[in-house]
Each structure stands twice: as C-alpha cells, then as structure tokens.
A and B are shown apart, each in its own frame.
Chain A
Amino acid sequence: MKAIILGGTGGIGRAIARRLAQRGDTLFLLGRDETELARSAADLNARQPTPSVMGHAQCDLEHPEGFAAALDTADAALGGCDTVIVTAAMFATQEALEADVELTRRLTTVNYANTIVFLEHARKRLLARGGGRLVVFSSVAGDRGRKPVAIYGSSKAGISTYLEALDHKFHGRGLSVLCVKPGFVKTGMTASLKPPPFAGEPDRVAADVVRALDRRQPVLYTPGVWALVMLVIRWLPRFVMRKIDF
C-alpha cells in the first residue's frame, strides 16, 4: 500500500502510521508543523530496518490553497498513491466554542468545508487512476445532535454524510471509502477531558482502523462498543434528549 496521511504525527494517526510502516507499507506524511513531521518521519523510519516514509510536506487544513500542491508532491514521492488517510481535525469543547464565535468559525471551516475540499482533491486523483482507498476520521459525535458536542458534532455529521454519499456514488468505480467513528480515545486531543467508560487506547483503535481498511469496510465504530451505544442514542426520543446531558 502507498498511503498519504494527513495528521499522522500525533494521536491515532501516529498509531496508524506505525502499524502501516511495520507491515511494509510506504507512507508520505502531511501536516501543519515541519519539525513535527520530520520527527515523526524519523520515528517511523527508525522502527524497522527499511525506511517506510518517502517524505513529508506541510499541509494545513486552515489553508486550502495548498492542498493540491501538497497532494501532488506526496503522490510523486510515492510513485502514485493508492490510499489517502485523514485523521487531522480540530477539537474544542462546547463551552469553549460557545464562548468564542471565531473559534466556532475556524473549527467548522477546518472540520467540514476544508476537509471536504481536501477530500475532493484526493478523490479525483484516486478515481483518475481507477480507484483506491479513502480513510477519514469522523466521530460518534456526528451521529446525533447532542448537547455536549453540538458544534463539533455537527461538523462531523457533515463529514459522515459526505463520506456515505461518496461510497454510494463511487464504490462501483473502485473507490473504497471508510468513515471512522471513534468514541472517546485517550490522545493528546482529549487529554484535558475526563475519560468516560470504554475510553479507547490509540493503538487499539489504530488496529481496528487498519483491519477495516483491509476489509474495505464503509463504516467503523471503534472501540466497537460505541456502535451499540450510538444505536441506542439514535433511537432515544427527543423529550429524553432534551432531559439528559449526554
């Protein structure tokens, strides 16, 4: 596999990159911070005798004008990629977002509008060579409008819907789309929050993602118990959702 990873320097993205590198896939890293990219590339290359990272380049979800060039650089370095993985996104608590409208604008732009622009660029490149794989991190927060994740969740709901439609539209043309819906995972992103029951470890989640990717599965809840939790949440009547704080 030849994969471009946007957001592979930290959290679940780091764990996925390590698993792919370990089994011999070749990678290209995209991310915001040049130093972080270089350090992560060094890490991935040091972990097995043959280097797995073909290069890295800056690409910031806040700056869509750089997407096409970054993807072209990555594609060239890999000699034509077949997989694009996006784990990058912004996170902020509902409290912080409600207190700061500018933060709300940034988060919804990055997580929804700009992510879709990035994926459109990626999808076109993959389809032009007969298909490939798109793996994108949405969230269980997008499954139902919920009080503690009203804004963040809505940005993820948009991504989930987009990915679902991509799968419907292009599955026949060889594009596999995987929408990953992690529940709470203990990473730097969630470090300030108190872990709820069934909080996942990044490496466990990464293993699930790689398995789902290999099976060309369209949707993945991870840790698995969240599929059940969200099934219940989706069916709760409105008067209950108004009462509870989940």
Chain B
Amino acid sequence: MTPAAPTLSGWGGMTRPGRELASERLDSITAGATLTRGLGRSYGDSSLPAHASDRVASTVLADRILRFDDATGVLRAEAGLSLAQLNRVSMPRGFFTPVTPGTELVTLGGMVASDVHGKNHHRQGCFGAHVRSLRVRLADDSIVECSPAEDSDLFYATIGGMGLVGHILEVEFVLHRIPSSWLIVERERVRDLDELLEALSRAAPKWPLTVGWIDCLTRGRSMGRGILMAGRWATAEEAEPDPPRRARLRTLPFELPNWLLNPLTARMFNAAYYWRRLRRRVSGPSAPQPFFYPLDAILHWNRGYGPRGFTQYQCVLPRAAGAAAVREFMQRLTRVGGASPLCVIKDCGREGQGVLSFPLEGTSIAVDMAVSPDIQRIVDRLNELVIAAGGRIYLTKDRFTRAEHFRAMEPRLDRFLTVRHKYDPQRRLRSAQSVRLLGDRA
C-alpha cells in the first residue's frame, strides 16, 4: 500500500494535493514560498496551493506577541497568533480586538489577508482599518515594513489581498478598551424581510454590534422572517461579577452522512431556532463567546455537511440597490435551491481602504450551501444578480465564482493587479483561487 499523498483543505472540505511547512521561524519558511496560510478557515480555495509542489508556509507556530502597550492598546504580534489566544490574553486586561469575524479560530495574518469584518462593521469598518503596520516578505524574498505612511500601496493591497502580494509576517494594530468582559445582548424576532432590514437600520445608530439571522427556507408572506441580534459591551455595573467561563469545546469527531442535512431537517432546525424564545424580544447579559462565535463551540462543525463538503455564498448588495435587491436575492436563492439553515444578514458601513476588501455600504448576505451537482449553476445565477445590482462577493468564502464574473463585479481589480505587478511581476505568490480567478499559472 502506498501512503496517500498529503493534502491541504479549506474549511468547506475542498482538498488539493500539497503540504505545508510549519516552523516557529516564519522568516525562514516563507523564503521561496508561494503561499502562506494560517488556520485554514477560509471556506474555498484561498488557502490552497496552485500546484502540489508549491512551497506553502504555515504560520500557526509563529504566534508570539512582540509588544503590548497597556496604555494605548497597541499590539504587535507574529502573524500566526490566533484570535482565540489573543482574546484569552487581552480580555482579562480590559481590551478586545477592534473587529472580530464569526470565528476566533483564525490567525492575525488571515484576518489581515481577508480584511475581516464583523458585527460592528457599520461603526468600525474592517480589521484593516485598525492596522498600523505590517511586516511583509515580498516575492523577491526581501522583507519590508509597510504602513499607511510607508509603501502605502503595498500596505493597502496586502489588506484584503488574500496573501497574493506578500507573506504577512507581523501585524501591528490597535485593540479597543472594553468596560467589562460581558455583553448586553438583545434578540428580537422579526416577521419578514422588510421588517428585518428596517430593524437592522433602526438598530445601527443605537447598537455597536448588530446582525440578523434569516430563515430563508420559509416562502411566501413570511419570507425572510428572522431574528435581529444586537449587542454592546456591558458597563462594569451591568456585568456579572465573575468573568465569563469558556464553554468546554465539543468536537464533531467524524463526518455526518450527506443525507442528514436535507430540506426537511433544515426546515425543522430553522423553525426550532426561530421559536426558540417565546417572547418576541429578549435582552440581557451574555458572554462574548456564544455571541461572537456560536459555531466555535463545536470543533469541526464543518463535518456536519458530510464528505461532499459545503461552501458559503457571501455577497454584499449596495445600499443604492435598495431593499428590493435584497428581496430579489432571497427569492432567487429559494428558486435556485440554494437555501440552507445558516443565512446571516448584516448592514455594512462604508467601503474601507483595502484595495480588494469585501464590504461596501449596503447589505451583506451569507448563506451556507452543501456542495451538490447543482452548485455551479446556483452560484452563477446568484453572481449574475449581484453583478446587476453592483455588488460583489467575499473571496474568503468563495470557491465557485467564474473569472469573468469576478472581473465584472470588481472594478478595483486593475488597481490591485498594478500593485501586485509592481511587487511580484512574475506572480510567484499565488493560490488555487488566484489561478481560478486571476488566471495565474498553476
């Protein structure tokens, strides 16, 4: 029996032949590497090598905090520091990351490369807006420090640049002070899509953290019924006396069979989630963990989708396109059969400075979908609608978008390619995703 060739996989279960090099010394393993990856939480092919023999550097062992200033909140760390680790260190000291994605099992390097956004995007923008400086290894193996003042073109192309402009070695950013380690969270059941969109915009000026969950399996009048979740940090008086306890992690030790997640079970799940609380509106203190990272409570929850894997379709539709575009999106989603239990909606604030950063002012919608024989058609149909509305998709989640669709929704692409060409004329840094979307050589 010959041993199976090593593979790397994205969070959605897509695998590619290849292996990663891990070392505490990021400066040595990134030399000659074509791609750097962290915890592999991007859903599609962003963290997968273009070719099996490519040198892929793993950052996860390079996780040191190099500087933390209690007075200003400025923190500098190696790119492999995970957000989970950072939270454990910073929260007891009254600081929290300025922006957090929906999982804490990501690295700082990944947060910069994806320019992640969170429930506070309408107030704080993306993570990149809080980064002061980056240490980057370029394709010619030189190491440079870049910032909004120094090599700013490199800095803004690296933020949200999916690791295609340089290997991120160190990140310096500003943490926010928090009054306690508890949140005050309000959940409100809303009856349909219009009400949800209205509730989101009504909550935005009042609450620094907002997000909506949509039951996108319900059709007709209740289409888009859901739950609005809003939160803010609790003051020292409102907070529980003890710091929140971290729940014990559970794991899904094996893949569930493909058939387990079917229209019926998904509908049952959604109804249960929608009616979970009898009162229409509930509010009170909550630990940050279940609010920010509900799915992290189960390690390897992605196995729930079975061996076929899954993808997440996330797009943002500009405010100008209005609620009508969101409604049309939901209708098309149901019609093409892409609906699933996990559908999250969020109103985004202004576009950031990362050249390829995802968010723009409007409504972001994220839907998990099992990979089925139909998936390419579903993604194509949705992309056509997004292009028509003037929106775009989130590369970190993507695995099926066609190159021509990406180009059509990304007027900033040429600017990005110009910077990339300046720092890496041979396009040495590349990924399976850049082969698919930017036509890089495999």
**B203 proximity list for chain A (CB < 8 A):** none
B186: interface (CB < 8 Å): no
A40: contacting residue among B22, B64, B75, CB under 8 A: B64
* A10 CB–B CB distance under 8 Å: yes
A36 to chain B, nearest CB (A): 8
Residues of A within 8 A of B25 (CB): 36, 188
B66 at interface, CB cutoff 8 A = yes
**Residues of chain A contacted by B70 (CB below 8 angstroms):** 49
Also in contact, A187 and B65, with CB within 8 A (given A10-B24, A11-B24, A14-B24): no
Question: Does B6 sit at the interface, judged by CB under 8 A?
Answer: yes
- Answer yes or no: B3 CB below 8 A from chain A CBs: yes
Say if the beta carbon of A168 comes within 8 Å of chain B: no
> B3 and A194: CB pair below 8 A?
yes
Who on chain A is nearest to B93 by CB? A49
A191 with B23, Cβ < 8 A, contacts A46-B68, A49-B70 known: yes
Note all chain B residues with C-beta closer than 8 A to A229: none
| In-complex Cβ contact of B24 among A42, A47, A188, A192 (8 A) | A188
Number of interface residues of A (CB under 8 A): 19
Whether A43 lies near B24 (C-beta < 8 A) is no
Q: Which chain B positions have C-beta within 8 A of A188?
A: 22-25, 61
A154 lies within 8 A of chain B by Cβ: no
Produce 1/0 per residue, B55-91, CB < 8 A to A: 0000001001111101000010000000000000100
Q: Which residues of A contact B23 (CB under 8 A)?
A: 188, 191
- The reply to whether B67 and A46 contact each other, CB–CB distance below 8 Å, is yes
Q: Which of A20-61 contact B (CB under 8 A)?
A: 36, 39-40, 42-43, 46-49
Q: Which of A172-229 contact B (CB under 8 A)?
A: 186-188, 191-192, 194
- Seen from chain A, the residues whose Cβ lies within 8 Å of a Cβ on chain B are 9-11, 14, 36, 39-40, 42-43, 46-49, 186-188, 191-192, 194
- 29 intermolecular pairs with C-beta atoms under 8 Å apart: A10-B24, A10-B61, A11-B24, A39-B64, A39-B66, A40-B64, A42-B64, A42-B66, A43-B64, A43-B65, A46-B65, A46-B66, A46-B68, A46-B89, A47-B65, A49-B70, A49-B93, A186-B22, A187-B61, A188-B22, A188-B23, A188-B24, A188-B25, A191-B21, A191-B23, A191-B61, A192-B21, A194-B3, A194-B6
